[in-house]
Chain A
Amino acid sequence: MAQSTEGTGGLAFDKKKRTWPNELNIFIALLIIIAIFETLGQTLPYMNDQSFLFDTRDRFDSIFNEARLRIIILQVSIIGIIALGVTQVIISGGIDLSSGPLVGATAMIAMSFAQTELVNGGLNPKAVFGPWAFDLPVLIPVIVALAFGALIGAINGSLIAFTRIPPFIATLGMFLICRGIAQAWTRGKPVSFPTEGYAGLGSGMMPVYWFLGLAVVFHFILKYTVYGKHTYAIGSNEDAARMSGINVQKHKVMVYVIASMLAAFAAVILSSKNLTAQSGMGIFYELYAIAMAVIGGVSLTGGRGSVIGTVLGAMVFGVIQSGFTYVKLDAYFQLMAMGIIIISAVVLDKVRQERAASRR
């Protein structure tokens, strides 16, 4: 159908004509999921009368069950920080599988520079380095972590941009390398007893503040800066981006560097929160981060998605996880259910896109 554009309206910029934002769909989905768990809680025979998200027993000075809300958001905020980076990678048309093991490796390395000298009056039993590395200012482990993240990201990005190997392969290789680094760093022994300053980075609700703060920053960056616009452009049509004069290779390296630095920062927060670093930290995090982004409407084909979507995706993720526990679904089945939900999210997104395409 050859659709003429002549006479079809003027040139005005019409705010009302903007399309229905995808983020609203995810928000509605979030509300529906909450409603489902709430209903299940009221109807399942083995449940007591406790509500899922509301404060029905007047334990708190609010209408919500604050304890559960806190746990939900605390639970997702560290992986959420990784998801912010993964969002950018996927929008640029790539994928990053190395973020989980990178968390493990970075946690080990950063924690080694954050150890305190005296533990219960004796020398730190988990000391990695000599006395020079004790009680360093908190900035040093953070800088070491970010630098390590930047290095891994630069390798990922350079491999993908210059050798043109698929991002899946490059980051899969890095996945193994990073897990190897995490294990080789101390031959598998955990690194513990951080300084007070380091422990403060991720204590209490700090991970949530970091997550939401970084989300605001990257929402702004993706939406209102040249970096963000080029990220969308490359994911949308790499050839067009190149022809338009965007240095695609340089930009890709930058995207992977930022993503890995975010994962490294998540490692700092995680090891600080747990007061220890172990080589097995961050298992499945890369997949959960991708899942959050995908549930949040970030398209794996690139070019589409947003930080708001990913934050909402993280909330959906947290609510589902918490909801499964709430309805006492066996932990063994939770992974399966999560898998089904991720697949459904992508299928729904595809259906929605195809319907939008047929409408034009």
Chain B
Amino acid sequence: MSEDTRETILETRGLTKHYGGVHALNDADFALAKGEHVAIMGDNGAGKSTFVRQITGVEQRTSGTIIFDGKEVHFKGPIDSREAGIETVFQTLALADDLDVPDNLFLGREITKFNWLGPFRLLDYKAMRKATLEGLERTAVKIPNIRNTIQNMSGGQRQCVAIARTATFSSKLTIMDEPTAALGVQETAQVENIIRTLKDNGEPLILVSHNMRQVFDLVDRIIVFRRGRIVANLKKEDTDGQDVVAYITGAKTGAEYAGAA
């Protein structure tokens, strides 16, 4: 199945971000089809995280257009993007240690009753627990007891909880920023299994990763960033590790990006 026949979920045109005089991201044109898994690779400082931060609204872009789910969007903050259906799993785990699993999944968007009470509206613990169990089931995440605080969980379990948010809120796009960077072998395997589950469910994913094996195992397409620009857009079948490394290091530049190097 060619990606062209599928609907596009996310598209960026000329996405640019300058920090003062530093051009962290230049003219990024990117498209992601529904159900597609794409990896973003590149050296440190190549612009990967900057790219993700513009999409998720963590930072405001200098210029360019973002089209998500058919509409041009202007996310003012990460909350906006999340409400639109983009779920991000950050490198640093955005979890509150002293809260349990449902609390963390629903943090900032609790299921509540008596909403006229404003900030004192009541939490619907039962509904949140139920939705949590369903979300965990869908991602095949196993947590011994969801009522335990996150603090007492292993790194893998914590990352799984972060990823399980995606399934719980049936988001339209998942972005993972090096989800296994801090994990052991077994835990990495577990996270990768969840990513495969997402794939099977047809949920699109942007995976920022340094791990070549992981990328070739999991995704359909590889985008390479170098010095703030996209320098390659490679289908997995048409490339190999050495090729990708050549793009990352700058030994090669994609023909269509000739001006970028």
Residues of A within 8 A of B (CB): 2-15, 17-19, 221, 224-227, 229-230, 232-233, 235-237, 239-241, 243-246, 251, 254, 303-304, 356-357, 360
Interface residues of B in 97-143 (CB under 8 A from A): 97-99, 103, 107-110, 112, 117, 119-123, 125, 129, 133, 136-137, 141-143
Q: Are the C-beta atoms of B185 and A11 separated by less than 8 Å?
A: no
16 CB < 8 A contacts A-B: A5-B157, A5-B160, A7-B142, A9-B144, A9-B145, A11-B146, A19-B148, A221-B120, A225-B117, A232-B103, A236-B97, A237-B94, A239-B92, A244-B109, A303-B98, A304-B98
Q: CA separation between A9 and B142, bound complex, in Å?
A: 8
Chain A residues contacting B197 (CB-CB under 8 Å) are: none
Chain A residues contacting B99 (CB-CB under 8 Å) are: 229, 232-233, 236
Q: Are the C-beta atoms of A232 and B123 separated by less than 8 Å?
A: no
Interface residues of B in 149-164 (CB under 8 A from A): 149, 151-154, 156-157, 160
Chain A residues contacting B149 (CB-CB under 8 Å) are: 19
Is the C-beta of B221 less than 8 angstroms from some C-beta in chain A?
Answer: no
Q: CA separation between A224 and B148, bound complex, in Å?
A: 17
Inter-chain contact count A-B, CB under 8 Å? 133
Closest residue of chain A to B79, judged by CB?
A: A245
Report which residue of B77, B98, B129, B148 has the largest number of chain A beta carbons within 10 angstroms of its beta carbon.
B98
Q: A2-B186, A17-B147, A226-B112 are in contact. Are A240 and B96 (CB under 8 A)?
A: yes
Report which residue of A6, A14, A18 has the largest number of chain B beta carbons within 10 angstroms of its beta carbon.
A6
Closest residue of chain A to B112, judged by CB?
A: A226
Give the distance to chain B from A226, nearest Cβ to Cβ, in Å: 5
Closest residue of chain B to A353, judged by CB?
A: B151
Q: CA separation between A15 and B99, bound complex, in Å?
A: 16
Q: Which of B79, B121, B129, B137 contacts A13 (CB 8 A)?
A: B129
Q: CA separation between A245 and B142, bound complex, in Å?
A: 26
Chain B residues contacting A360 (CB-CB under 8 Å) are: 151-154
Q: A2-B186, A5-B144, A8-B142 are in contact. Are A237 and B117 (CB under 8 A)?
A: no
Closest residue of chain A to B105, judged by CB?
A: A244
Q: CA separation between A239 and B79, bound complex, in Å?
A: 13
Q: Are the C-beta atoms of A236 and B154 separated by less than 8 Å?
A: no
Residues of B within 8 A of A (CB): 77-79, 82, 90, 92-99, 103, 107-110, 112, 117, 119-123, 125, 129, 133, 136-137, 141-149, 151-154, 156-157, 160, 184-187, 190
Chain A residues contacting B112 (CB-CB under 8 Å) are: 226
Q: Are the C-beta atoms of B147 and A225 separated by less than 8 Å?
A: no
Q: Are the C-beta atoms of B122 and A225 separated by less than 8 Å?
A: yes
Q: CA separation between A8 and B142, bound complex, in Å?
A: 7
Chain A residues contacting B151 (CB-CB under 8 Å) are: 357, 360
Chain B residues contacting A357 (CB-CB under 8 Å) are: 151
Report which residue of A7, A239, A245 has the largest number of chain B beta carbons within 10 angstroms of its beta carbon.
A245
Q: CA separation between A344 and B129, bound complex, in Å?
A: 38
Closest residue of chain B to A303, judged by CB?
A: B98
Q: CA separation between A4 and B119, bound complex, in Å?
A: 39
Give the distance to chain B from A18, nearest Cβ to Cβ, in Å: 6
Closest residue of chain A to B185, judged by CB?
A: A2
Given contacts A11-B143, A232-B96, A240-B107, 17 further A-B pairs with CB under 8 A are A3-B154, A5-B141, A5-B143, A5-B156, A5-B190, A7-B142, A11-B136, A11-B142, A17-B148, A224-B125, A225-B119, A232-B98, A240-B95, A243-B94, A244-B108, A245-B78, A360-B154
Q: Are the C-beta atoms of A235 and B98 separated by less than 8 Å?
A: yes
Q: Are the C-beta atoms of B96 and A245 separated by less than 8 Å?
A: no
Give the distance to chain A from B9, nearest Cβ to Cβ, in Å: 22
Q: Are the C-beta atoms of B95 and A2 separated by less than 8 Å?
A: no
Closest residue of chain B to A356, judged by CB?
A: B152
Q: Are the C-beta atoms of A13 and B145 separated by less than 8 Å?
A: yes
Give the distance to chain B from A38, nearest Cβ to Cβ, in Å: 36
Chain A residues contacting B123 (CB-CB under 8 Å) are: 224-226, 229
Q: Are the C-beta atoms of A17 and B145 separated by less than 8 Å?
A: yes
Q: Are the C-beta atoms of A11 and B107 separated by less than 8 Å?
A: no
Q: Are the C-beta atoms of A254 and B109 separated by less than 8 Å?
A: no
Q: CA separation between A10 and B142, bound complex, in Å?
A: 7
Q: CA separation between A235 and B123, bound complex, in Å?
A: 19
Q: Are the C-beta atoms of A241 and B107 separated by less than 8 Å?
A: yes
Q: CA separation between A104 and B72, bound complex, in Å?
A: 57
Those 6 A-B pairs whose CB atoms lie nearest each other, nearest first: A244-B108, A2-B184, A245-B79, A245-B108, A303-B98, A236-B96
Closest residue of chain B to A221, judged by CB?
A: B120
Q: A245-B79, A356-B152 are in contact. Are A229 and B110 (CB under 8 A)?
A: yes
Q: Are the C-beta atoms of A229 and B121 separated by less than 8 Å?
A: no
Chain A residues contacting B137 (CB-CB under 8 Å) are: 11
Closest residue of chain A to B193, judged by CB?
A: A6
Give the distance to chain B from A300, nearest Cβ to Cβ, in Å: 13
Q: A9-B142, A245-B109 are in contact. Are A236 and B148 (CB under 8 A)?
A: no
Q: A7-B142, A225-B122, A236-B97 are in contact. Are A243 and B90 (CB under 8 A)?
A: yes
Give the distance to chain A from B63, nearest Cβ to Cβ, in Å: 25
Closest residue of chain B to A246, judged by CB?
A: B108
Q: Are the C-beta atoms of B96 and A237 separated by less than 8 Å?
A: yes
Give the distance to chain A from B216, nearest Cβ to Cβ, in Å: 23
Q: Are the C-beta atoms of B96 and A226 separated by less than 8 Å?
A: no
Chain B residues contacting A229 (CB-CB under 8 Å) are: 99, 103, 107, 110, 123
Q: CA separation between A209 and B32, bound complex, in Å?
A: 62
